[in-house]
Amino acid sequence: MEAQAEQSVGAAFSKNKTLWIGDLEYWMTEVFIRCCYGKKNDFVSIKVMRNKNGESKGYGFLEFRSHDAAASFLQAHIAVSQLPNTRKPFTLNWAAYGNTNMGSTFDIFVGGLSPVITSDILEQVFSAKYGSVRGAEVVTDRFTGLSRGFGFVRFEDGLDQIRALDEMNGIVCFGRAIRVAQATAKKKRLETARLSLDETSIE
């Protein structure tokens, strides 16, 4: 099982196209970061994370068109101690969760669900915070029709997926703290589901 986990992590890393940038000043916006590096870099998007008041959290994400483009940028800048044209030191590394693009959408696994949560409720919980939610599914027992305690949420925007992974883990929903993780490809979902059930039985 550990070998399977390592293979899964390796596969996910090879698809990771997103870098985490930290130690940002409150005034450093997406436009400022893009100007620092010029237009020649292969950015798909730049996102500075903000709280509910719109204030910077001091970190953000740089998404590239490919894993190789992200790796090249990281290698070229990881040894640099300051942002270009500034005296501000910063931190650059791989994002904890890379984007796993499933077609044109991004999925996360949600475990520890209360039995009262339906697919519609799960979608409402996430769409209330993330505008790019495009659906949710609570997995049910094929014989009883009852929830098996886990499901999946789909996003259209990869940055919303990353935010949800960062912000929603441990959130109490209908009396239970939910667990979120990056969803694997569809052919691996059954293994993810089985592991979740094993965890539930141990608890």
* Confidence band, pLDDT 50/70/90 cuts, at residue 176: very high
pTM exceeds 0.75 for this model: no
Tell me: the pLDDT tens digits for 47-80? Answer: 888 877 888 888 888 888 888 888 888 888 876 6
Domains of the chain: residue spans and CATH: 17-94 (3.30.70.330), 101-202 (3.30.70.330)
**What is the rounded average pLDDT for all residues in the chain?**
76
Residue 95, pLDDT above cutoff 90: no
* Confidence band, pLDDT 50/70/90 cuts, at residue 85: low
Closest CA to 33 of 68, 67, 77, 96: 77
Among 96-105, 125-134, 170-179, the range with the most confident prediction by mean pLDDT is: 170-179
10 Å CB burial of residue 198 (0-12, 13-18, 19+) is exposed
Residue 13, pLDDT above cutoff 80: no
Residue 193, pLDDT above cutoff 90: no
Q: What is the 3-state secondary structure (H, E, C) of 71-119?
A: HHHHHHHCCCCECCCCCCECEEEECCCCCCEECCEEEEEEECCCCCCCH
